[in-house]
Chain A
């Protein structure tokens, strides 16, 4: 996918890309390559002594069951967060698309959590579900469910999924609603005349037309759950109890930033970078194809 018509100057384009390239090289490629180098070192926290240990950090990482578990947890967490926030958003968008009257008002009232910082969202949900003082934990106790995310890994996982989904529903809702509103009414009405009931109409006609949006959102949501949820986990569970909510990006932070295990943390960063690059290429190819189409 290239433009046919191009300008044929030499100095100007280089001048135009230069700021971005310089910033990327200085603040991105260079630190990332340092992380790469550090992942091959065994170093004390202050950087006073270091030895080159080849791939020891990676070997240690992949022979550590907790790291492998963290992978599994990240997959569960991402799938659940993406599933929940996409499902709820689609449902709400389908309803908003129906009501015509007030759709914009609903949109305004649903869209704003997008603006809330993950770290703040985490604080809010932590506050509501705090086993000692939280109002929702108290209500659940009244209903006979002893909520304690300090103790119960499932409770903790549910808490981070809820908080992460709450923030993401708004974004998904916007896209679904726009996608729905772009579907020609005549198509749906024709099916209605044929006697197809609303639910069936939705699945056989509307949803297939919506699938590019849904697929795009799926990728965005998974990326969100993988990387942008650090602040939520940090504020709600700190990865506990017993590592049950330690997702990959949190583990990088925890081992490097709190544990000061720089080599191990850098090795994890490298693994994460590989994951990111794979996802990026995947998304890039997908979007590229869509645009070409």
Chain B
């Protein structure tokens, strides 16, 4: 009596013990958060896999943005209706890792399914973020990116700026020259916590939190209110007044400021490359490494990733997990990865995909697309630049966003804002420790 579509009815009942028949292909659900052109590509990948064999079928389901997808998967898990594979963004990593009875670690699933799998094939700087202390990969990297600097080449020429700035004082000088040439603003940034706090710290080899940024234990505490952090954020706040820096939103809402030639520089994910290329119509643009302070820490170190990985959830049949394992193998193959990397601007997750892309001459034809990879792999990661692993970090990022907004708006000094962010963040870390520990 329920008006349901058949395939999904099957998908849903599978969760409560669908035996599977010898004739029908085993179907698994993959919940993802990729909209737009990326979403099309996701569908293409799933279709490619389905066409490559006949035993298994992957159904991609778009579940909204990252937070909506993760919450939906968790709500579904509590109701025993979870998908097989779910895409979770990097800040959700600690929450997923702590959910030991809910997740099926990827290395284990691959072994149980008898699927060939060598973690060494993957880029260490990408997988490090998602590996436990014993070196086991818990989730499958899918879309990873790192922040870079986009700049308006045309405007730089007009204003007589020699080339992309590599240090923050050069950024300021370039911004002032551009402003003198009639451009209202110097630079803007997307994802401020990720770019200006998390990656700023890694790039300068500064700690964000104790215990190796949380990798060594959940009793970690934030330290991103150090004098170096305060100096950087305080400088940005100062620049906000003269529009050397102009804040334009928590996510990527500031992009039109760059497209519309309001700001001549833009710091955001390397995955924004496709968007910038499509929208920078009236000017030439270039890509360069993030700027650094010459006198802070040991910059430039390396930057850390953002993006998302695929987690496998418990509670399905062994046959389903065979399908998931086969799919992961397909997904990691050099051809699929190289295509995904070139199309989206996300990093290639395997060395083979990187080499394949290089041999195809992609980096020469698209200058700037390899900046992100060099930036990430230029130096061996330290304790401070391997990544971060903090519980409740989704909420903590919101707190950092709020405090930064208060700083940009002038209602708090950089010191006050960062102190408050650290103490509010620590409270959530303790809550996470209490909820998941013991």
Contact = CB atoms under 8 A, between A and B. Distances in A.
A and B in contact, CB less than 8 Å: yes
Interface of A: 42-49, 51, 130-133, 148, 150-153, 238, 240-243, 254-255, 257-261
Interface residues of B, number: 40
Interface stretch (B94-102, B134-142, B267-275): B94-102
Q: Name the prevailing secondary structure of the A interface residues.
A: loop
10 contacts: A44-B435, A46-B99, A133-B256, A240-B402, A241-B406, A258-B71, A258-B395, A258-B398, A260-B74, A260-B392
Contact of A259 (B249, B257, B398, B401): B398
**Max chain B CB contacts within 10 Å: which of A132, A152, A238, A257?**
A132
B409 interface: yes
A254 B398 contact: yes
A282 to B, nearest CB: 33
A152 B408 CA distance: 9
A240 B403 CA distance: 10
B293 interface: no
Nearest to B438: A49
A165 B78 CA distance: 38
Contacts of A130: 253, 256
Contacts of B78: 46-47
B395 A255 contact: yes
A152 B406 CA distance: 9
A240 B405 contact: yes
A156 to B, nearest CB: 10
B247 interface: yes
A242 B406 contact: yes
B409 A260 contact: no
A133 to B, nearest CB: 5
B436 A49 contact: yes
Nearest to A149: B249
Contacts of B70: 260
| 6 A-B pairs with least C-beta separation | A241-B405, A259-B395, A132-B256, A242-B406, A242-B405, A46-B99
Contacts of B253: 130, 132, 150
A44 B101 CA distance: 12
Nearest to B263: A132
Nearest to B255: A132
A258 B99 contact: no
Given A150-B247, A259-B392, A48 B401 contact: no
B250 interface: yes
B95 A260 contact: yes
B71 A240 contact: no
Nearest to A131: B248
A58 B203 CA distance: 40
Contacts of B240: 151
Interface of B: 67, 70-71, 74, 77-78, 95, 98-102, 240, 247-250, 253-257, 260, 262, 392, 394-395, 398, 401-403, 405-406, 408-409, 411, 431, 434-436
B71 A150 contact: no
A261 B392 CA distance: 8
A255 B100 CA distance: 23
B435 A46 contact: no
Given A243-B402, A254-B398, A258-B71, A42 B434 contact: yes
Contacts of B101: 46, 48
B405 A257 contact: no
A44 B100 CA distance: 11
Contacts of B260: 132-133
Contact of B98 (A44, A131, A150): A44
A87 B307 CA distance: 48
A258 B394 contact: yes
A65 to B, nearest CB: 10
A153 B405 CA distance: 9
Given A132-B253, A258-B67, A259-B392, A49 B435 contact: yes
Given A132-B260, A150-B248, A150-B249, A46 B77 contact: yes
A241 B402 contact: yes
B256 A45 contact: no
A242 B402 contact: yes
Contact of A257 (B71, B248, B257, B403): B71
A150 B67 contact: no
Contact of B250 (A42, A43, A240, A258): A240
A133 B256 CA distance: 7
Nearest to B101: A48
A242 B409 contact: yes
A150 B251 CA distance: 11
Contacts of A46: 74, 77-78, 99, 101-102
Contacts of A47: 77-78
A258 B253 CA distance: 19
A45 B402 contact: no
A259 B249 CA distance: 19
Nearest to A257: B71
B278 to A, nearest CB: 15
Contact of B99 (A42, A44, A133, A240): A44
Given A151-B247, A259-B392, A241 B409 contact: yes
Contacts of B98: 44
B403 to A, nearest CB: 7
Nearest to B66: A258
A42 B435 contact: yes
B102 A48 contact: yes
A244 to B, nearest CB: 8
Nearest to B406: A242
A153 B247 CA distance: 13
B409 A151 contact: yes
Give the interface centre of A130, A240, A258, A260 by most chain B CB atoms within 10 Å: A260
A150 B405 contact: yes
Contact of A260 (B71, B408, B411): B71
Given A49-B436, A242-B409, A261 B99 contact: no
Contacts of A153: 409, 411
B423 to A, nearest CB: 12
B408 A151 contact: yes
B100 A48 contact: yes
A183 B160 CA distance: 73
A51 B392 CA distance: 18
Contact of A45 (B74, B100, B401): B74
Given A48-B99, A261-B431, A132 B395 contact: no
A241 B192 CA distance: 13
A266 to B, nearest CB: 13
B402 A259 contact: no
